[in-house]
Structure 1
Amino acid sequence: MIKTAKDKKDEQIETLKTARNSEERKNKEYEEEISRRLVEAERENMRLKQVIMGKDRTITSLSERCAANDDVTEVAKQKDELENKALQERVKEPKQQTAAFKKNWNK
């Protein structure tokens, strides 16, 4: 059987329609895959934001505790310095008295 030009053209049109339908199905599948991945990425992004916010709260809390500890440490250091000075003064006093006594004794 000899195909007429119209039959050949109709066959080409059918082939092109089939190819186009196949391409449209692939494109639709790609779009669905991209949408699925986008939703997944958005969920992961939200989860990571929550993790970051939790870590920020932890850092803030630790910073506040460190600042409080630094204040306590500074107060304790100042108190120790004052006590050390007072102790040095108490140690100096008997030495000065002894030196004065020796000076008066030797006269």
Structure 2
Amino acid sequence: MKIGFIGLGNAGGKLAGSLQRHGYDMVVRDLDATAAQPFLDGGALWADSPRELAEQCEVVITCLPSPAVVREVMESADGVLAGLSGGKTWLEMSTTDESEV
């Protein structure tokens, strides 16, 4: 199974790191390309857009700083939803609270 991970900051970097240490094939994306470098060094692939990531992976995980950022990553013209197809799964791990859901 190939896992796509978008958002490699404080929380996302740790979650993605655990997946990579456990041997999952990964495709990664972050606005800060330097945050992805340790994952790329460990064998992950880079996606140039959220859509490209979703097209390549069976599972997409987002771990982003706010619902507004999630909306942009998911719903933009080159977003995750444009690249998802039947049978794929999106897991949302972003920072949020009940007033934002």
User: What interval of TM-score do these two structures reach, taking the shorter chain for normalisation?
Assistant: under 0.3
Which structure has more strand as a fraction of its residues?
2
Scaled by the length of structure 1, what TM-score is found? Answer: 0.15
Bigger radius of gyration: 1
User: Which is richer in helix?
Assistant: 1
Which fold has the larger relative contact order, with Cα–Cα distance below 8 Å and residues 6 or more apart in sequence?
A: 2
Task: Provide TM-score, normalisation by structure 2.
Answer: 0.15
